[in-house]
C-alpha cells in the first residue's frame, strides 16, 4: 500500500465506525424515547396496551389507597383521571393534590401499571410537563406554584 | 461587617481578573513585568476569594441569619458539618465555590508553572482571568451570596434535608475540582492556539493538569453515584439522569484527552485533535453547569430557576465555547499535521480509544439534549431514558473493552499483533473460564450477562498481564521477577492499575444489573421474609428524636446463610424546619455485596411496606473507580509527569539564571 492508500483506508475505517455509531444513535432515539401524556391527551390520542409512556398530572384528592404493597391512586388534569397501580415504595414527597409523573404502560383494562413514580426533591415542586399541560387546559392556579423555598 | 468585606473582596478579585486578562492578552509576547504582574494577580485573586468564601462560611457557622443565604439554607440546630456544607448546598454558594476552585487552579498554574515558558504561562493565566472574571461577574450581578436581610430573622429555614448528609461535604467539592480543573487544559489549548506553538512539550505540560482534574472528576462522579444510592432510597446507583450525564460527558472526553495527550507527547501526532478535546472537555463542563444551574432541568441539583440566571449562563456558555472554537477554526489549519502511523500500534489503539469514547459521548449528548431541543422548538414533551443510553453506550463500550488490553501491550510505531495476542491468551482463557462457570451456574436464560462478565475479567486480567509479562514471571527466578515487578516504572503501574479498575467496575455493573433481586412486601413486627439466602426479621418499630428531625425507627435482624445474625436500622425522618420527610435506607455489607432495606408507609394497622434488595458485588463498581483514581495519583507522583516539572535540569536552569543576571548587569553597565 502506498502512503496515500494507507491514509485513505484509515480514514475510511474511522468513517465507517462513526457512521455505524450514528445509525445506532438515531435508531435508538426513534425507538427508545418515551412520550409524555396527560390524562386528557391520553383520551384524545390513545396508546397501545403495553407501550411505555409517562403519565403526568396531579394526584387526585382522596384517591390514594394502599392494598398491601400495592398503591392505587388516580392521576388527573382536573378534566379526566386515570387509575394507576404501583407496586413499589412511593417517593417520600408523594401527596394527594400534588404534581406527579409516573412511568409505565396501560393494561387491557386501561389501568396504568407504573414501573416508576418520579420522586420530587422539593415540597413545592410540580413537574414542568405537568405545569405546562395544566396551563394549556386552563387549570393552572398561580398559588399552586408556591415559592421556590 | 465581615460579610461586606467578603463582598468587597469578591468585587476586587473581579476587577483584578479583568486587568489580568486584558494585560495578559495584549502584552503576552513582550513584557516580563506584565508576566510577573499576571502571576501575582492570579495568586491575589485566590487570596481574596478565599477570604470572601470564608466570610460566608463564618456567617453560616455562627448562624448569622441576617445573611439571606444563611437564613434560606441553614438552621441553628443543624450539626456543624451541615452548617458548613450548606454554604454550597444552594445556587449562590455553589457558584462561589466554583469561583474559589477556579482561582485555586489559576494560582496553582502561577505557582507550579514557574518553569513554563513565560509567554505560554502569561497567556494561560490571561485566559484563566477571562473565565474567572466571567464567573465572578455572574456571582456578583446575578447570584449575590452576600445579600442581607433587615431585620434579621431569628431562625433559618433549614437546608434541603436530602442534602443533610456527609455526601454534600465530599461530592460537590470533588466534582468541581474535576470540572474546573479542566479549565486549565482549556486555557492551555487557547494559549497554544494564540501563540501557535503546539508541540510535544505542550502535551507534557498539559497532561498533569488533565490527570489531576480527571482523578477528581472520577472520584466526584463515583461519590455522587454512591450518595444517590444510599440516600435516595431507590436502590439504584445510576439513573442516566441529565444531571448525571452532564458530569459523565466531561469525564468521558477527559479520559479521551488524557490518552490523546500521550500520543501527542510521544509521537507528536494527533495535535489538532488533542487541542479540540481540551476545548471540548471544559465546554462540556460548562454545558453541565448550564444544564444543572439554569433550571432547565428539575433535579435535586437545580436549586433555583431564575430565568435571568439561565440566560446569563447560556450567554456565558455560548460566548466562551463560540470564541474557543472560532480561534480553533482559524488557527487549527495552520498547525502542521503529525506523521502517519501504522494501525497496529500503541498510537493506533489510542486512536480507537478516542474514537469510541468520543462517539459514546456524542450518544449521551444527543440523548441528553434531544428532549430539551424538541421541547424548545416544538413544545413536544418526550423523555430519553435508560433504555436509550443502555443500548447506545453499551454497544459502543463493547469494542472499546475488547481492544483495551491490547492497547497497553502494543509498542509504539509498529507492533506485532500476533505476539501480543499470544501474551494475552492466558488472560483471555481465564476470563472465558470464569464466564463459562457463571453461565453454567446461573443457567442459560441470561445471555448477555456472562458476556459482560467475560469483558470485565478480560480487561482486569489483561491489564495485569502486562505487569506479569514485563516482570518475566515463569521465565526467570521468582524472586528476580518480583524484583522486576516492583521496579517497573510508575507509568506502567498506573496504566495497569487504571485499566484493572475499569475491569473491576465493569464486573460490578454487570453482576449487579443481571443478578440483583428484590422483595417488596408488607411486614409486621415479628415477621420474617427471605431473599437471596438471607432471612430478614422485622424486630423493632418506634419513634425517636434527632437533632433537627423526628425519626420513625425500624430495626431488622438479618440472618445470613452461615447462621450469623446482624442488625440493620432503617429510618424515615421528618425535618422540623421544613417538615420534609426523607428515607434513610439500612445497608448491610457482606464482602462486596450489600443488602439494602428501605421502609415505606405504614397502613392503619401498623403494617409496614418494606423493600429489600440484594445487590451482589455492587461495591466493585466504586472499588474500580478507586483503582482508577489511585492510578491517577500514582502517575502524578511520577517525577517525569509532575505538575509544572522543570523543563530543564536544575543545574541548567541555574546556569540560565546566571546568564540572565549577567545579561542584566551588562545592560546596566551599558
Q: What pLDDT, in 10s, does the model give residues B345-358?
A: 898 899 999 999 99
> What would the pLDDT profile of B303-334 be if each residue is shown by its tens digit?
655 677 888 888 989 999 999 999 999 988 87
- Write out chain A residues lying below 8 Å of B578, CB-based: 123
State the maximum Cα–Cα separation within chain B, in Å, rounded to a whole number: 99
C-alpha cell at A33: 424515547
SS3 B157: coil
DSSP annotation of B67 reads B
Residue ranges of B 13-32 with Cβ closer than 8 A to chain A: none
User: Are A84 and A24 in the same domain?
Assistant: no
Task: Name the nearest CA neighbour of B58 among B136, B130, B150, B145.
Answer: B145
Smallest CA–CA distance, residue B142 to chain A, in Å, is 16
User: Are A74 and A49 in the same domain?
Assistant: yes
Residue of A nearest to B159 (CA): A149
Which spans in B294-339 are helix H?
A: 307-331
User: Are A61 and A95 in the same domain?
Assistant: yes
Domain boundaries, chain B: 1-164, 203-321+341-413, 416-515+621-637, 517-615
User: Are A86 and A44 in the same domain?
Assistant: yes
**Contact pairs from chain A to chain B, CB under 8 Å:** 109
Decide if A93 and B381 are in contact by the 8 Å CB cutoff.
no
User: Are A42 and A103 in the same domain?
Assistant: yes
Residue given cell 388527573 in the structure block: A76
Pairing, β B517-523 against β B382-384: unpaired
> What would the pLDDT profile of B61-92 be if each residue is shown by its tens digit?
999 999 999 999 898 988 999 999 999 998 89
Instruction: Please tell me the total count of domains within chain A.
Output: 2
In a domain? residue A83: yes
Task: Name the nearest CA neighbour of B240 among B401, B363, B400.
Answer: B363
Q: How far apart are the first and last CA of chain B?
A: 54
In a domain? residue A27: yes
In a domain? residue A28: yes
Query: Other C-beta atoms within 10 Å of A135: how many?
Result: 10
User: Are A6 and A70 in the same domain?
Assistant: no
Residue ranges of B 330-389 with Cβ closer than 8 A to chain A: 340, 343, 351, 355-356, 359, 362-363, 366-367, 370-371, 379, 381-385, 387-388
Question: Which strands, in side-by-side order, build the sheet including B608-615?
Answer: B517-523, B608-615, B593-602, B586-590
Q: What pLDDT does residue B578 have?
A: 78
Instruction: Report phi then psi at B638, rounded to 5.
Output: -65, 125
C-alpha cell at B332: 487549527
User: Are A53 and A89 in the same domain?
Assistant: yes
Instruction: Report phi then psi at B335, rounded to 5.
Output: -75, 145
Distance of CA B494 to the CA centre of its chain: 18
Decide if A29 and B581 are in contact by the 8 Å CB cutoff.
no
CB distance B39 to B115 below 8 Å: no
C-alpha cell at B334: 495552520
Q: What pLDDT does residue B199 have?
A: 86
Percent of chain B with pLDDT strictly greater than 90: 59
ipTM for this model: 0.81
In a domain? residue A149: no
User: Are A29 and A66 in the same domain?
Assistant: no
Task: Name the nearest CA neighbour of A75 among A24, A107, A30, A117.
Answer: A117
CB within 8 Å of B582: residues ≥ 6 apart: A92, B161, B162, B231, B233, B572, B573, B575
Q: What pLDDT does residue B377 have?
A: 85
* A35 lies within 8 A of chain B by CB: yes
Q: Which of B340, B366, B521 sits opposite A69 (nearest CB)?
A: B521
Decide if A34 and B382 are in contact by the 8 Å CB cutoff.
yes
Buried b (16+ CB within 10 A) or exposed e, A62-85: ebbebeebebebbbbbbebbbbbb
User: Are A93 and A140 in the same domain?
Assistant: yes
Which spans in B410-489 are helix H?
A: 417-442, 448-470, 478-487
Tell me how far apart the alpha carbons of residues A55 and A77 are, in angstroms, rounded to a whole number.
10
C-alpha cell at B391: 443500548
CATH code for the domain of A61: 2.40.50.140
**Mean pLDDT score across all residues of chain B:** 88
C-alpha cell at B115: 518553569
* A145 lies within 8 A of chain B by CB: no
**If you write DSSP's letter for every residue of B33-63 in order, what string do you get?**
HHHHHHHHHHHHHHHHHHHHHHHHHHHHHTT
Residue ranges of A 38-97 with Cβ closer than 8 A to chain B: 54, 66, 68-69, 87-90, 92-93
C-alpha cell at B419: 505476539
Q: What pLDDT does residue B648 have?
A: 42
- Write out chain A residues lying below 8 Å of B299, CB-based: 121
C-alpha cell at B156: 433559618
Tell me how far apart the alpha carbons of residues B196 and B202 are, in angstroms, rounded to a whole number.
11
User: Are A6 and A43 in the same domain?
Assistant: no
Decide if A32 and B388 are in contact by the 8 Å CB cutoff.
yes
In a domain? residue A10: yes
Task: Tell me which residue range forms the domain holding A28.
Answer: 1-33
Smallest CA–CA distance, residue A116 to chain B, in Å, is 10
Q: What pLDDT does residue A47 have?
A: 86
Which residues in chain B come in under a pLDDT of 50? 643-670
Which residues in chain A come in under a pLDDT of 70? 1, 119-128, 137, 139-149
Tell me the CATH number of domain B1-164, given options 3.30.70, 1.20.120, 1.10.1760, 1.10.1060. 1.20.120
Amino acid at each position: 500500500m502506498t502512503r496515500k492508500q494507507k491514509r485513505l483506508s484509515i480514514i475510511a475505517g474511522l468513517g465507517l465506525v462513526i457512521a455505524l455509531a450514528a445509525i445506532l444513535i438515531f435508531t435508538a432515539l426513534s425507538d427508545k424515547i418515551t412520550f409524555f401524556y396527560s390524562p386528557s391527551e391520553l383520551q384524545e390520542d390513545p396508546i397501545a396496551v403495553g407501550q411505555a409512556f409517562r403519565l403526568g398530572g396531579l394526584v387526585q384528592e382522596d384517591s390514594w389507597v394502599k392494598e398491601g404493597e400495592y398503591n392505587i391512586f388516580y392521576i388527573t388534569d382536573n378534566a379526566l383521571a386515570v387509575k394507576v397501580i404501583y407496586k413499589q415504595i412511593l417517593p417520600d414527597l408523594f401527596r394527594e393534590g400534588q404534581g406527579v409523573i409516573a412511568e409505565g404502560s396501560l393494561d387491557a383494562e386501561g389501568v396504568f401499571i407504573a414501573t416508576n413514580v418520579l420522586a420530587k426533591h422539593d415540597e413545592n415542586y410540580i413537574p414542568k410537563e405537568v405545569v405546562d399541560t395544566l396551563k394549556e387546559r386552563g387549570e393552572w392556579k398561580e398559588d399552586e406554584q408556591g415559592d421556590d423555598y | 461587617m465581615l460579610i461586606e468585606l467578603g463582598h468587597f473582596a469578591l468585587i476586587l478579585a473581579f476587577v483584578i481578573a479583568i486587568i489580568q486578562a486584558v494585560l495578559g492578552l495584549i502584552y503576552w509576547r513582550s513584557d516580563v513585568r506584565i508576566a510577573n504582574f499576571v502571576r501575582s494577580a492570579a495568586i491575589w485573586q485566590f487570596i481574596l476569594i478565599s477570604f470572601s468564601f470564608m466570610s460566608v462560611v463564618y456567617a453560616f457557622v455562627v448562624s448569622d441569619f441576617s445573611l439571606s443565604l444563611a437564613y434560606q439554607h441553614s438552621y441553628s440546630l443543624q450539626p456543624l458539618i451541615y452548617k458548613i456544607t450548606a454554604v454550597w448546598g444552594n445556587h449562590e454558594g455553589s457558584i462561589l465555590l466554583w469561583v474559589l476552585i477556579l482561582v485555586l487552579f489559576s494560582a496553582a498554574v502561577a505557582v507550579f508553572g514557574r518553569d513554563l515558558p513565560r509567554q505560554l504561562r502569561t497567556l494561560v493565566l490571561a485566559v484563566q482571568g477571562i473565565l474567572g472574571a466571567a464567573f465572578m461577574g455572574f456571582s456578583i450581578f446575578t447570584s449575590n451570596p452576600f445579600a442581607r436581610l433587615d431585620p434579621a430573622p431569628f431562625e433559618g429555614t433549614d437546608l434541603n434535608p436530602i442534602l443533610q448528609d456527609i455526601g454534600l461535604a465530599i461530592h460537590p467539592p470533588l466534582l468541581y475540582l474535576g470540572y474546573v480543573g479542566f479549565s486549565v487544559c482549556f486555557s492551555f489549548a487557547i494559549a497554544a492556539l494564540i501563540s501557535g506553538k503546539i508541540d510535544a512539550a505542550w502535551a507534557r505540560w498539559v497532561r498533569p493538569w488533565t490527570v489531576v482534574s480527571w482523578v477528581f472528576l472520577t472520584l466526584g462522579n463515583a461519590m455522587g453515584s454512591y450518595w444517590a444510592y444510599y440516600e435516595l432510597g431507590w436502590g439504584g446507583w445510576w439513573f442516566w439522569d441529565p444531571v448525571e450525564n452532564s458530569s459523565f460527558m466531561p469525564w468521558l472526553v477527559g479520559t479521551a484527552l488524557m490518552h490523546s495527550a500521550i500520543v501527542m507527547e510521544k509521537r507528536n501526532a494527533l495535535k489538532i485533535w488533542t487541542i479540540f478535546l481540551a476545548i471540548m472537555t471544559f465546554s462540556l463542563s460548562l454545558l453541565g453547569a448550564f444544564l444543572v444551574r439554569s433550571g432547565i432541568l428539575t433535579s435535586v441539583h437545580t436549586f433555583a430557576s431564575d430565568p435571568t440566571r439561565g440566560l446569563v449562563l447560556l450567554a456565558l456558555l455560548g460566548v466562551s465555547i463560540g470564541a474557543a472554537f472560532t480561534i480553533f477554526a482559524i488557527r487549527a489549519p495552520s498547525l502542521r499535521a503529525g506523521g502517519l502511523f501504522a494501525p497496529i500500534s500503541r498510537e493506533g489503539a489510542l486512536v480507537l480509544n478516542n474514537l469510541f469514547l468520543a462517539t459514546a459521548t456524542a450518544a449521551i449528548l444527543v440523548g441528553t439534549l434531544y428532549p430539551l431541543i424538541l421541547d424548545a422548538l416544538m413544545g413536544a414533551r418526550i423523555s430519553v431514558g435508560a433504555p436509550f443510553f443502555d443500548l447506545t453506550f453499551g454497544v459502543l463500550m463493547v469494542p472499546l473493552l475488547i481492544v483495551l488490553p491490547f492497547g497497553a501491550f502494543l509498542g509504539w510505531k509498529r507492533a506485532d499483533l500476533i505476539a501480543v495476542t499470544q501474551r494475552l491468551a492466558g488472560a483471555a482463557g481465564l476470563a472465558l473460564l470464569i464466564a463459562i462457570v457463571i453461565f453454567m451456574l446461573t443457567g442459560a436464560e441470561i445471555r448477555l450477562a456472562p458476556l459482560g462478565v467475560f469483558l470485565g475479567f478480560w480487561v482486569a486480567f489483561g491489564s495485569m498481564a502486562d505487569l506479569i509479562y514485563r516482570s518475566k514471571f515463569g521465565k526467570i527466578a521468582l524472586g528476580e521477577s518480583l524484583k522486576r515487578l516492583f521496579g517497573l516504572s510508575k507509568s506502567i503501574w498506573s496504566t495497569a492499575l487504571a485499566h484493572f479498575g475499569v475491569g473491576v467496575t465493569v464486573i460490578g455493573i454487570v453482576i449487579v444489573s443481571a443478578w440483583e433481586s428484590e422483595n417488596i412486601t408488607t411486614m409486621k413486627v415479628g415477621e420474617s421474609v427471605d431473599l437471596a439466602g438471607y432471612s430478614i426479621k422485622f424486630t423493632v418499630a418506634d419513634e425517636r428524636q434527632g437533632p433537627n428531625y423526628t425519626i420513625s425507627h425500624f430495626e431488622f435482624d438479618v440472618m445470613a446463610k452461615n447462621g450469623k445474625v446482624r442488625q440493620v436500622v432503617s429510618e424515615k425522618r421528618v425535618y422540623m424546619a421544613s417538615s420534609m420527610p426523607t428515607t434513610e435506607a439500612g445497608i448491610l455489607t457482606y464482602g462486596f455485596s450489600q443488602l439494602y432495606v428501605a421502609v415505606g408507609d405504614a397502613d392503619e394497622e401498623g403494617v409496614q411496606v418494606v423493600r429489600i434488595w440484594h445487590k451482589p458485588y455492587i461495591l466493585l463498581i466504586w472499588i474500580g473507580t478507586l483503582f482508577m483514581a489511585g492510578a491517577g495519583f500514582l502517575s502524578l507522583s511520577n517525577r517525569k509527569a509532575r505538575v509544572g516539572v522543570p523543563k530543564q535540569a536544575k543545574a541548567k536552569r541555574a546556569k540560565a539564571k546566571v546568564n540572565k543576571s549577567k545579561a542584566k548587569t551588562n545592560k546596566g553597565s551599558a
